[in-house]
Amino acid sequence: MKKIELEIVALSHSVTASPNYAVVLGEHEGARRLPIVIGGAEAQAIAVAMERLNPSRPLTHDLMKNILEKFNIELKEVLINNLLDGIFYARLICIKDGELIEIDSRTSDALALAVRFDSPIYTYEFILDAAGVLLEDGDAPQEQEEEEEKKTRRSSGRKRSKKKKGYDDYTLEELKKKLDEVLAAEDYEKAAKIRDELNNRKE
Protein backbone atom coordinates (compact mmCIF):
# COMPACT_ATOMS: atom_id res chain seq x y z
CA MET A 1 0.00 0.00 0.00
CA LYS A 2 1.44 3.35 -1.05
CA LYS A 3 2.39 5.71 1.78
CA ILE A 4 1.80 9.47 1.65
CA GLU A 5 4.22 11.75 3.47
CA LEU A 6 2.80 14.35 5.84
CA GLU A 7 4.17 17.27 7.82
CA ILE A 8 2.84 19.23 10.79
CA VAL A 9 1.46 22.53 9.48
CA ALA A 10 -0.53 23.81 12.48
CA LEU A 11 -1.23 23.22 16.16
CA SER A 12 -4.21 24.99 17.68
CA HIS A 13 -7.19 24.75 20.03
CA SER A 14 -9.86 22.40 18.70
CA VAL A 15 -13.07 24.23 17.82
CA THR A 16 -15.17 21.06 17.97
CA ALA A 17 -13.57 19.35 20.96
CA SER A 18 -12.63 22.09 23.44
CA PRO A 19 -10.56 22.09 25.67
CA ASN A 20 -8.56 19.73 23.48
CA TYR A 21 -6.20 20.72 20.69
CA ALA A 22 -5.93 19.84 17.02
CA VAL A 23 -2.70 19.05 15.23
CA VAL A 24 -3.08 19.59 11.50
CA LEU A 25 -0.99 17.47 9.15
CA GLY A 26 -0.58 18.44 5.52
CA GLU A 27 0.48 16.45 2.48
CA HIS A 28 4.16 16.97 1.73
CA GLU A 29 3.22 17.29 -1.93
CA GLY A 30 -0.48 18.10 -2.05
CA ALA A 31 -3.28 20.30 -0.76
CA ARG A 32 -5.04 17.97 1.67
CA ARG A 33 -5.01 18.48 5.44
CA LEU A 34 -5.51 15.85 8.13
CA PRO A 35 -6.74 17.34 11.45
CA ILE A 36 -6.30 15.13 14.53
CA VAL A 37 -7.72 16.01 17.96
CA ILE A 38 -5.22 15.51 20.81
CA GLY A 39 -5.02 16.33 24.51
CA GLY A 40 -3.45 19.41 26.02
CA ALA A 41 -0.44 17.58 27.45
CA GLU A 42 0.33 15.97 24.11
CA ALA A 43 -0.10 19.30 22.31
CA GLN A 44 2.37 20.86 24.74
CA ALA A 45 4.85 18.03 24.12
CA ILE A 46 4.67 18.65 20.37
CA ALA A 47 4.86 22.44 20.74
CA VAL A 48 7.93 22.29 22.98
CA ALA A 49 9.82 20.25 20.37
CA MET A 50 8.62 22.36 17.42
CA GLU A 51 9.70 25.55 19.17
CA ARG A 52 13.07 24.00 20.08
CA LEU A 53 12.58 24.89 23.73
CA ASN A 54 14.96 23.41 26.30
CA PRO A 55 13.11 22.28 29.44
CA SER A 56 15.06 22.34 32.69
CA ARG A 57 14.26 18.62 33.07
CA PRO A 58 13.41 16.10 30.33
CA LEU A 59 9.71 15.73 29.54
CA THR A 60 8.24 12.25 29.03
CA HIS A 61 8.86 12.25 25.27
CA ASP A 62 12.39 13.60 25.76
CA LEU A 63 12.97 10.69 28.14
CA MET A 64 11.62 8.24 25.55
CA LYS A 65 13.97 9.71 22.94
CA ASN A 66 16.93 9.42 25.32
CA ILE A 67 16.11 5.78 26.06
CA LEU A 68 15.80 4.86 22.39
CA GLU A 69 19.10 6.56 21.59
CA LYS A 70 20.82 4.94 24.58
CA PHE A 71 19.92 1.51 23.23
CA ASN A 72 20.89 2.49 19.66
CA ILE A 73 17.32 2.36 18.37
CA GLU A 74 16.61 4.67 15.44
CA LEU A 75 13.12 6.02 14.80
CA LYS A 76 12.99 5.58 11.03
CA GLU A 77 9.46 6.94 10.54
CA VAL A 78 6.00 7.33 12.03
CA LEU A 79 3.11 5.67 10.23
CA ILE A 80 -0.53 6.61 10.88
CA ASN A 81 -1.84 3.25 9.75
CA ASN A 82 -5.51 3.07 10.64
CA LEU A 83 -8.69 4.98 11.46
CA LEU A 84 -11.46 3.20 13.37
CA ASP A 85 -14.55 4.89 14.84
CA GLY A 86 -12.88 8.29 14.58
CA ILE A 87 -9.71 7.16 16.37
CA PHE A 88 -6.35 7.33 14.59
CA TYR A 89 -3.82 4.54 15.13
CA ALA A 90 -0.09 4.82 14.59
CA ARG A 91 3.11 2.79 14.61
CA LEU A 92 6.69 3.70 15.34
CA ILE A 93 8.89 2.15 12.67
CA CYS A 94 12.27 1.63 14.33
CA ILE A 95 15.60 0.08 13.38
CA LYS A 96 17.76 -1.82 15.87
CA ASP A 97 20.98 -3.48 14.65
CA GLY A 98 19.64 -3.55 11.11
CA GLU A 99 16.35 -5.16 12.18
CA LEU A 100 13.03 -3.42 11.52
CA ILE A 101 10.82 -3.12 14.62
CA GLU A 102 7.21 -1.85 14.67
CA ILE A 103 5.75 -0.48 17.91
CA ASP A 104 2.09 0.45 18.46
CA SER A 105 1.62 4.02 19.64
CA ARG A 106 -0.98 6.66 20.24
CA THR A 107 -0.83 9.05 17.29
CA SER A 108 -0.14 12.07 19.52
CA ASP A 109 2.82 10.33 21.17
CA ALA A 110 4.14 9.19 17.80
CA LEU A 111 4.01 12.76 16.47
CA ALA A 112 5.76 14.13 19.58
CA LEU A 113 8.60 11.65 18.98
CA ALA A 114 8.69 12.31 15.23
CA VAL A 115 9.33 16.01 15.87
CA ARG A 116 12.15 15.19 18.30
CA PHE A 117 13.83 12.75 15.94
CA ASP A 118 13.11 14.79 12.78
CA SER A 119 11.56 11.60 11.44
CA PRO A 120 9.15 11.57 8.46
CA ILE A 121 5.42 11.04 9.04
CA TYR A 122 3.34 8.89 6.68
CA THR A 123 -0.23 7.73 6.25
CA TYR A 124 -2.31 5.85 3.69
CA GLU A 125 -4.65 7.12 0.98
CA PHE A 126 -7.78 5.61 2.58
CA ILE A 127 -7.17 7.60 5.77
CA LEU A 128 -6.86 10.89 3.87
CA ASP A 129 -9.97 9.98 1.88
CA ALA A 130 -11.92 9.34 5.08
CA ALA A 131 -10.71 12.20 7.28
CA GLY A 132 -8.73 14.58 5.08
CA VAL A 133 -9.81 18.09 4.15
CA LEU A 134 -8.95 19.62 0.79
CA LEU A 135 -7.37 23.08 0.95
CA GLU A 136 -9.10 24.92 -1.88
CA ASP A 137 -7.22 27.35 -4.13
CA GLY A 138 -7.32 30.80 -2.62
CA ASP A 139 -7.96 29.55 0.89
CA ALA A 140 -5.49 30.82 3.47
CA PRO A 141 -3.70 28.05 5.37
CA GLN A 142 -4.98 27.66 8.93
CA GLU A 143 -1.72 28.79 10.45
CA GLN A 144 -1.82 32.04 8.46
CA GLU A 145 -5.41 32.68 9.51
CA GLU A 146 -4.50 32.13 13.15
CA GLU A 147 -1.54 34.49 12.90
CA GLU A 148 -3.74 37.20 11.37
CA GLU A 149 -6.26 36.67 14.17
CA LYS A 150 -3.50 37.05 16.76
CA LYS A 151 -2.31 40.28 15.17
CA THR A 152 -5.89 41.62 15.12
CA ARG A 153 -6.42 40.76 18.77
CA ARG A 154 -3.11 42.40 19.75
CA SER A 155 -3.94 45.53 17.78
CA SER A 156 -7.49 45.88 19.11
CA GLY A 157 -6.27 45.12 22.63
CA ARG A 158 -3.83 48.02 22.51
CA LYS A 159 -6.57 50.37 21.37
CA ARG A 160 -9.01 49.27 24.09
CA SER A 161 -6.69 49.32 27.08
CA LYS A 162 -3.16 49.95 28.14
CA LYS A 163 -3.59 48.38 31.58
CA LYS A 164 -2.75 44.78 30.68
CA LYS A 165 0.78 44.32 29.39
CA GLY A 166 0.99 41.71 26.65
CA TYR A 167 4.13 40.06 25.31
CA ASP A 168 4.12 42.45 22.36
CA ASP A 169 4.64 45.33 24.83
CA TYR A 170 7.85 43.81 26.25
CA THR A 171 11.31 44.81 25.08
CA LEU A 172 13.55 42.10 23.64
CA GLU A 173 15.56 41.91 26.85
CA GLU A 174 12.39 41.63 28.94
CA LEU A 175 11.09 38.87 26.67
CA LYS A 176 14.32 36.87 26.94
CA LYS A 177 14.31 37.24 30.72
CA LYS A 178 10.64 36.21 30.87
CA LEU A 179 11.38 33.18 28.69
CA ASP A 180 14.07 32.03 31.13
CA GLU A 181 11.63 32.47 34.03
CA VAL A 182 8.78 30.44 32.51
CA LEU A 183 11.17 27.69 31.38
CA ALA A 184 12.51 27.44 34.93
CA ALA A 185 8.90 27.18 36.15
CA GLU A 186 8.23 24.53 33.45
CA ASP A 187 5.35 26.57 32.01
CA TYR A 188 5.89 25.50 28.41
CA GLU A 189 2.64 26.93 27.09
CA LYS A 190 3.73 30.46 28.05
CA ALA A 191 7.23 29.70 26.80
CA ALA A 192 5.86 28.80 23.36
CA LYS A 193 3.90 32.08 23.23
CA ILE A 194 6.99 34.09 24.16
CA ARG A 195 9.04 32.23 21.53
CA ASP A 196 6.33 33.06 18.95
CA GLU A 197 6.63 36.74 19.84
CA LEU A 198 10.43 36.61 19.54
CA ASN A 199 10.17 34.88 16.15
CA ASN A 200 7.61 37.46 14.94
CA ARG A 201 10.03 40.26 15.77
CA LYS A 202 12.85 38.54 13.89
CA GLU A 203 10.61 38.40 10.82
The CB density around residue 167, as the number of other CB atoms within 10 Å, is: 18
For the chain, the average pLDDT equals 82
Is-contact 88 82, C-beta < 8 A?
yes
| Domain end marker among 116, 134, 152 | 134
Of 89, 112, 134, which residue sits at a domain end? 134
Name the DSSP letter for residue 15. Answer: S
39 burial level (CB within 10 Å; 0-12, 13-18, 19+) = middle
> How many domains does the chain divide into?
2
Say what the pLDDT of residue 40 is. 87
Q: pLDDT category, 150, cuts 50, 70, 90?
A: very low
Residue 22 one-letter amino acid: A
189 and 94 within one domain? no
**At 66, which CATH number?**
3.10.690.10
- pTM across the whole model: 0.69
Structure confidence at residue 143 (pLDDT): 47
Residues 97-145 have pLDDT tens digits of 999 999 999 999 999 999 999 999 999 999 999 999 987 654 544 444 4
Of 134, 152, 180, the last residue of a domain is: 134
Question: Which residue range forms the structural domain that includes residue 170?
Answer: 142-202
Report which of 93, 88, 89 is spatially closest to residue 119, judged by C-alpha positions: 93
Which residue, 103, 105, 139, is CA-closest to 26? 139
Q: Which residues fall within 8 angstroms of residue 16, CB to CB, at 6 or more apart?
A: 37
- Has residue 71 got a pLDDT over 50? yes
Backbone angles phi, psi at 109, to 5 degrees: -65, -40
